[in-house]
Chains A and B, each alone.
Chain A
Amino acid sequence: MSALLSISGVSKRFRGLVAVDNVSFDVPQGVIYAVIGPNGAGKTTLFNMIAGEFVPDGGTISFDGARIDGHPPDEVCRRGIGRTFQLVRPFPALSVAENVMIGALLHRSDVAEARARAYDVLKRLDLFDKREQPASALTLPDRKRLEVARALATEPKLLLLDEVMAGLRPTETDRIVSVLRELNRETGLTILLIEHVMRAVMALAQRVLVLHHGAAIAEGAPEEVVRERAVIDSYLGAEALA
Chain B
Amino acid sequence: MSRFVVRLTEDVSRRALTLLVVFFAAMVIAPFALNDYLLTVLILIFYSAYLGLAWNILMGFAGYLSLGHALYVGLGGYTAAALYVHFGIGPWIGLLVAIPVTMISGAIIGFLAFRFGVAGVYFAILTIAFAEFARIGFDHFNWVGGSGGFFLPVKQYAHNDLWLLRGSPAMFYYVILAATVVAFLACRLMLHSRIGYFWQAIREDEGAARAIGVDTFRYKMYAVVISAGMSAFAGVFYAFYYNNLFPEQVFHILRSIELILGPMIGGIGTLFGPVLGAFVLTSLAEVLHAVLAVFGIDVPGVNRVLYGVCLLLVVIWVPHGIWPWLARRLGLTEPRP
Contact = CB atoms under 8 A, between A and B. Distances in A.
Interface of A: 51, 72-74, 77-78, 82-83, 85, 89-95, 98, 101-103, 105-106, 109, 111, 114, 134, 150-151, 153-154
30 contacts: A51-B211, A73-B210, A74-B210, A74-B214, A77-B212, A78-B213, A82-B212, A83-B211, A89-B207, A90-B205, A90-B208, A91-B201, A91-B204, A91-B205, A92-B204, A92-B205, A93-B200, A93-B336, A94-B200, A102-B200, A102-B212, A103-B213, A105-B194, A109-B193, A109-B194, A111-B192, A134-B336, A151-B211, A151-B212, A153-B212
The secondary-structure label for the interface of chain B is helix
Given A92-B204, A93-B337, A105-B198, A72 B192 contact: no
Contacts of B204: 91-94
Nearest to B197: A102
B212 A150 contact: yes
B212 A111 contact: no
B90 to A, nearest CB: 37
A105 B198 CA distance: 9
Contacts of A150: 212
B298 interface: no
Interface of B: 192-194, 197-198, 200-201, 204-205, 207-216, 335-337
Contacts of A101: 197
B212 to A, nearest CB: 5
Contact of B197 (A74, A77, A98): A98
A91 B208 contact: yes
Contacts of B198: 102, 105
Contacts of B214: 74, 102, 106
A74 B208 contact: no
Given A89-B205, A93-B204, A105-B197, A77 B213 contact: yes
A89 B197 CA distance: 16
Interchain residue pairs A-B with the least CB separation, the first 5: A91-B204, A77-B213, A89-B208, A106-B213, A73-B210
A140 to B, nearest CB: 16
Contact of B208 (A85, A105, A134): A85
Contact of B210 (A72, A98, A151): A72
Contacts of B335: 95
Contact of A91 (B193, B200, B210, B337): B200
Contact of B193 (A78, A98, A111, A154): A111
A181 B133 CA distance: 59
A228 to B, nearest CB: 33
Nearest to B208: A89
Contacts of A134: 336
A111 B197 contact: yes
Contacts of A51: 211
B194 A154 contact: no
A103 B212 contact: yes
A95 B201 CA distance: 11
A98 B208 CA distance: 14
A51 B211 CA distance: 8
Contacts of B193: 109, 111
For B213, B216, B335, the residue with the greatest tally of chain A CB atoms inside 10 Å of its CB is B213
Given A89-B208, A105-B197, 10 more contacts: A74-B210, A77-B213, A82-B212, A85-B208, A93-B336, A93-B337, A105-B198, A109-B194, A111-B197, A151-B212
A222 B113 CA distance: 48
Nearest to A84: B211
A153 B213 CA distance: 11
A94 B201 CA distance: 8
A73 B211 contact: yes
Contacts of A77: 210-213
Contacts of A72: 210
Nearest to A80: B213
Nearest to A82: B212
A83 to B, nearest CB: 5
A82 B212 CA distance: 7
B194 A74 contact: no
Contacts of A106: 212-214
A72 B207 CA distance: 11
A187 to B, nearest CB: 18
A106 B207 CA distance: 15
A76 to B, nearest CB: 8
Contacts of B205: 89-92
A102 B207 contact: no
For B193, B194, B200, B212, the residue with the greatest tally of chain A CB atoms inside 10 Å of its CB is B212
A83 B204 CA distance: 17
A91 to B, nearest CB: 4
Nearest to A112: B10
A72 B337 CA distance: 29
A74 B198 CA distance: 12
Contacts of A83: 211
Contacts of A102: 197-198, 200-201, 209, 212, 214
Contacts of A89: 205, 207-208, 211
B313 to A, nearest CB: 23
Nearest to B337: A93
A154 B211 CA distance: 10
